[in-house]
Amino acid sequence: MMAGLDDSRLFPMEPSARELAAALYQTVKDLPIVSPHGHTDPRWYAENEAFPDPAQLIVTPDHYVFRMLYSQGIPLEKLGVPSVDGRAVETDGRTIWRLFASNYHLFRATPSRMWLDHSFQHVFGLTKRLSAETADKFYDHIADCLQKPEFRPRALFERFGIEVIATTESPLDDLRHHRAVRDGEWSGRVVTAYRPDNVVDPEFEGFVENVAKLGELAGTDTSTWDGYLEAHRVRRAYFKEFGCTSSDHGHPTARTENLDQSEAAALFDKALRGACSPEEADAFRGHMLTEMARMSIEDGLVMQIHPGSFRNHSGGIMAGFGRDKGFDIPSRTDYVRALKPLLDAVGLEPGLSIILFTLDETAYGRELAPLAGVYPSLKLGPAWWFFDSAEGMRRYRELTTETAGFYNTVGFNDDTRAFCSIPARHDVARRVDCAFLATQVRTGRLDEDEAFEVAHDLTYGLVKKAYNL
């Protein structure tokens, strides 16, 4: 049926707006990809090995894909999702692929479908629709491609037009792959980001050992509060050697605290003894955001806060398959009261830049746009995770632009570990933004020449500036 993607996809339906959206898109579609936040594996770039089979590339690691299949009763075992409790799972790529393909209708009208179709077409040259009938043809073709040099990570990186990509590492990572890339001959720009959840959250598995290891890596005594803070400074400086321009913080809520140093030190001691109550752990996490903000003022790292995910919601799946298996569910998030301690402490400092994300869209218009529209330290991150979609991005612009404008936003994040979907994701964002701008112009809210300038800014200018890339 399908003869490839619709060239006008995601543009407004009204012809004059569609025409303008297309014209805007023409000016941004080939701009380089700047990917300031994501979860691709730095090993890919360092080692440049061929990707494994199509199922292991596209199905098994992508929680968007397997969660939808699981929701319709297809066991994770049959999708080859690795278990943690020793149960057997399917390992034959073709068997997994066929199961996926024969349920491809489940993805109708989802972003996964658009990303997958885009990847099939633009990365692998497949324009038919995936289905039970075409499953083997797709599998064979993709498997063949993956053996070729032009489908290795570095070649795809270049083909995708990636100017720079950030990965995300914990302070305990030795950054060996980043070192290999940096010191090697390949010119691709891969940078790291500082994600300290495992040494900042007293409830994180292995927190006490993690903090000890942090001290070893940093050469400071992390059994003391001052030594612990110093260790962060040391590791942040180390990360900066590998291009790091940002930190990232994935807390359950946006709570911040600004405790007295003695109080913070006491909490830290308690955390090291494993004695924090949930409330104390939360307070400590909250206080650490303020400490991280203080360090950002010193060292210039941009801070990202990604709050509000109820992680690993199903006890049964956690026991059987572990973390990150599609069972992270958004929850209501307050920002107004939560951020006040940090903002009262450092929110007016000229050097500080904090990029806020949300999984609670009601916060866009009510809290985030009003906050980012006045605090010089705050910027709005793009629509995130479940909302990294055509409708999600449209709502994001509609709910934030009138209060925060365009210039308190920071461009697009693909935030993905699905390498082949990167061009597709950026393409969706560019199209949705051009559609929004064209609609603004055709309803008399923006001049046409401004729309072209803004389209460039939303695609390229703002992300470079916001992330210092």
**Which 227-286 positions form the footprint of a copy of itself (CB under 8 A)?**
none
Return the DSSP state at 257. Answer: -
Instruction: State yes or no: residue 133 binds a copy of itself (CB under 8 A).
Output: no
Instruction: State yes or no: residue 314 binds a copy of itself (CB under 8 A).
Output: yes
Instruction: List, as one string, the DSSP characters of 270-338.
Output: HHHTT---HHHHHHHHHHHHHHHHHHHHHH-PEEEE---EE-S--HHHHHHH-S-SS--EE-----TTT
Q: Which stretch binds a copy of itself (CB under 8 A): 148-156, 197-205, 247-255, 442-450?
A: 442-450
Q: Which of 116, 126, 276, 454 binds a copy of itself (CB under 8 A)?
A: 454
With CB under 8 A as the rule, give the number of residues binding a copy of itself: 96
Residue nearer to a copy of itself on the CB measure, 278 or 315: 315
Instruction: State yes or no: residue 14 binds a copy of itself (CB under 8 A).
Output: yes
Contacts of 455 (CB under 8 A, 6+ apart): 24, 25, 27, 28, 430, 433, 434, 437
Residue 459 Ramachandran class (φ > 0 left, ψ -120 to 50 alpha, else beta): alpha
Residue nearer to a copy of itself on the CB measure, 68 or 422: 68
Length of the chain, please?
469
Handedness of CA 414, 417, 421, 422 (dihedral sign): positive
Residue nearer to a copy of itself on the CB measure, 214 or 371: 371
Q: How far is the CB of 206 from a copy of itself (least distance, A)?
A: 24
* Among the listed residues 278, 418, 287, 283, the one whose alpha carbon sits nearest the alpha carbon of residue 345: 287
Q: Which stretch binds a copy of itself (CB under 8 A): 78-86, 111-119, 217-225, 259-267?
A: 111-119
Q: How far is the CB of 130 from a copy of itself (least distance, A)?
A: 12
Q: Which stretch binds a copy of itself (CB under 8 A): 234-242, 271-279, 292-300, 396-404?
A: 396-404
Please report, as residue ranges, which positions from 330 to 389 form the binding site for a copy of itself (by CB under 8 A). 330-332, 334, 336-337, 340, 343-344, 347-348, 350, 359-362, 365-367, 369-376, 378, 386-387, 389
- What is the rounded CA–CA span in Å between residue 231 and residue 219? 7
Instruction: State yes or no: residue 305 binds a copy of itself (CB under 8 A).
Output: no
Return the DSSP state at 85. Answer: S
Residue nearer to a copy of itself on the CB measure, 140 or 398: 398
Q: Is 213 helix (H, G, I), strand (E, B) or coil?
A: helix
Is the CB of residue 422 less than 8 Å from the CB of residue 41?
Answer: no
